[in-house]
Structure 1
């Protein structure tokens, strides 16, 4: 009789361990599965930055603004940002295959991303509950443009 109770307790403990392991697997994510979409996003941002630079350059050619030197520095800054994004993307692409054995807590990473649209791109397998838990589009994600 005592052995039966001990066996029941042991089974209950085993069930709890299995349940916790299943829960951990649901929120675990390979670091490669994080690095690869980050690299893709950096590549997209780099291309957008390049388009902004080209468009702004064409507009400045048409406007003939008197502060040419200042405008040139702005274009150089945009170019530096574009090159940095390209380099960071390349580094993430090179790093991703080396991270396959590293397992991370997906929820911890999702919580770091404030833009809901970015979270959906980086973590497409996130449950609907996770997406709903994220705040709705913040002011930085809104379509409003601030003009200076």
Structure 2
């Protein structure tokens, strides 16, 4: 599965701690992240992460594009609800896209833990079915 990580500045430490706690589960998946968050995860874990731009420079939109193409399976976005973000419209657009395309989205550690516990148990079969249905509709396989 393709999993994206995003964290606002005051939540980056929490996300790194979370990635360390779930490192054995995450190693089995393809990981993506916005710039600084991905840099922190790769520096402090053994996980390999494809890094996009930082959020304010378009990283949220790059992840959103993968969501819109049905190429992202899970988004973990540790938001800081107490600090105004200059790129709030991009954040809202990403959250909206996750809702439109039925992509599981966690915006805090408690929800992220529940999602990764489900992932560990193999409870995201619906994502594979959606991809298979899309491949049959478009005539693409493994794209």
- Please indicate the TM-score interval, normalised by the length of the shorter structure: under 0.3
* TM-score (normalised: structure 2): 0.21
- Higher strand share goes to which structure? 2
- Higher helix share goes to which structure? 1
* TM-score (normalised: structure 1): 0.21
Question: Which is bigger in relative contact order (C-alpha 8 A, separation at least 6)?
Answer: 1
